[in-house]
């Protein structure tokens, strides 16, 4: 994800206040206020030093104990990571699986919860970035709330700040985000929102760790007694990123991502390339995943883009590693100017590599950026 100059300047701001200083505490609390609105919650929001993976593991470690029955929803690479983590903390894993490119069906979630009323937690990915599929969060959350008392944990790392979460309205207990995706900061901060129900579950669990102990980090927010040194510069950058979001307006940010997501998908289809999501309505507004032509491997396309046009896109993950490429368009990257450069480079690269397509059809799509 591109990092805008304003955020880079905030990252290098001087003087640097120590994390035990009142200035830091005020900045942290202001950032939390912004994040509450982004997440859609009036509950606690914690900012932790570490990547999004730390946030996910911290949520699981604080909620899930040995023998707990946990429902994990998986339709891609990161859903499988969630299974591994729940297993690692002793959870008894039940799953609702879907094929890569498909959503997790809410009705199947409801059925499994009816059959297993003792499920203590449900863990899911909002946007599965290995496939570019967004799971139907509202419908899944409704099934969880209507059929169980389970704690709902949502990995929203690639949607927080780009797509609505509405945590309180949907009664989502824990939402995990990260600084480096749609918030456009460099990697290094995890964001974890915690509902009152989740705090009660955390208290019952009694997690004994230190660095990932959410109760200790919450004490830091309330009392200034932080469990570890905090990378203050990263908080400066996050605070500036959040200011930029609210200067633009949160709904406008969401709309910008909707436009960009639709544009990239239209471009891919105009090139006669196949999207991984089986239906366009399943597709994410933050990342587009597509199958490369049979005559061009993903690594060949990516290498050519980078070498000749200085444009970097991502390769596939998991079982799609050798057949797909991924274009991220979130945060500052969801920008018409950047899209023009990426789109032009993609079209030229495919042509350079001998792939044929209807140029007039492609040019019609490109006009949307004018």
pLDDT, position 15 = 73
Rg of the chain (C-alpha set) = 21
Each residue's pLDDT tens digit, 105-128: 999 999 999 999 999 999 999 999
pLDDT per residue of the chain (370 residues) written in tens, 0 to 9? 789 999 999 999 877 778 888 888 999 999 999 999 999 999 999 999 999 999 999 999 999 999 999 999 999 999 999 999 999 999 999 999 999 999 999 999 999 999 999 999 999 999 999 999 999 999 999 999 999 999 999 999 999 999 999 999 999 999 999 999 999 999 999 999 999 999 999 999 999 999 999 999 999 988 888 999 899 999 999 999 999 999 999 999 999 999 999 999 999 999 999 999 999 999 999 999 999 999 999 999 999 999 999 999 999 999 999 999 999 999 999 999 999 999 999 999 999 999 999 999 999 999 999 8
The terminus-to-terminus CA distance of the chain in angstroms comes to 23
pLDDT, position 338 = 93
Q: Domains of the chain (ranges plus CATH)? A: 5-248 (3.40.640.10), 250-369 (3.90.1150.10)
- Tokens 């985000």 map to which residue? 177
What is the spatial distance between Cα 48 and Cα 122, in angstroms, rounded to a whole number? 22
Write out the two tokens for 61: 């470690």
242, 136, 69, 209 alpha-carbon torsion, rounded to 10°: -10
What is the spatial distance between Cα 233 and Cα 8, in angstroms, rounded to a whole number? 10
Cβ–Cβ under 8 Å, residues 332 and 238: no
Helices vs strands, H then E, count in the chain? 13, 12
Strand-pair category, 151-155 with 133-134: unpaired
């Amino acid at each position: 994800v591109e990092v805008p100059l304003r955020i880079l300047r905030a990252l290098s701001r001087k003087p640097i206040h120590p994390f035990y200083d009142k200035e830091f505490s005020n900045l942290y609390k202001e950032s939390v206020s912004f994040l509450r609105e982004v997440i859609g919650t009036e509950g606690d929001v914690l900012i932790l030093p570490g990547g999004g993976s730390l946030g996910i593991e911290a949520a699981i470690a604080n909620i899930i104990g040995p023998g707990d029955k946990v429902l994990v929803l998986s339709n891609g690479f990161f859903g499988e990571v969630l299974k591994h983590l729940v297993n690692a903390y002793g959870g008894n894993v039940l799953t609702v699986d879907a094929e890569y490119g498909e959503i997790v069906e809410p009705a199947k979630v409801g059925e499994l919860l009816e059959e297993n009323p003792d499920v203590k937690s449900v863990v899911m990915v909002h946007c599965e970035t290995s496939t570019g599929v967004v799971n139907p969060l509202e419908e899944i959350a409704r099934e969880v709330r209507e059929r169980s008392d389970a704690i709902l944990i949502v990995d929203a790392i690639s949607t927080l700040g780009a797509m609505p979460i509405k945590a309180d309205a949907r009664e989502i207990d824990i939402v995990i985000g990260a600084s480096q995706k749609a918030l456009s900061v460099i990697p290094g901060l995890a964001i974890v929102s915690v509902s009152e129900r989740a705090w009660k579950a955390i208290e019952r669990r009694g997690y004994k760790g230190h660095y990932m102990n959410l109760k200790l980090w919450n004490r830091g927010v309330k009392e200034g007694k932080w469990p570890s040194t905090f990378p203050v510069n990263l908080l400066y950058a996050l605070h500036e990123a959040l200011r930029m979001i609210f200067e633009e307006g949160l709904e406008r940010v969401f709309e910008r991502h909707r436009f960009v997501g639709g544009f990239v998908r239209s471009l891919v289809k105009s090139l006669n390339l196949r999207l991984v999501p089986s239906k366009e309505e399943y597709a994410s507004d933050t990342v587009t995943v597509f199958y490369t032509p049979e005559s061009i491997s993903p690594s060949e396309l990516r290498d050519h883009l980078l070498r000749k046009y200085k444009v970097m896109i991502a390769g596939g993950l998991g079982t799609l590693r050798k057949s797909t490429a991924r274009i991220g368009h979130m945060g500052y990257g969801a920008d018409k100017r950047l899209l023009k450069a990426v789109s032009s480079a993609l079209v030229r690269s495919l042509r350079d590599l001998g792939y044929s397509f209807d140029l007039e059809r492609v040019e019609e799509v490109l006009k949307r950026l004018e």
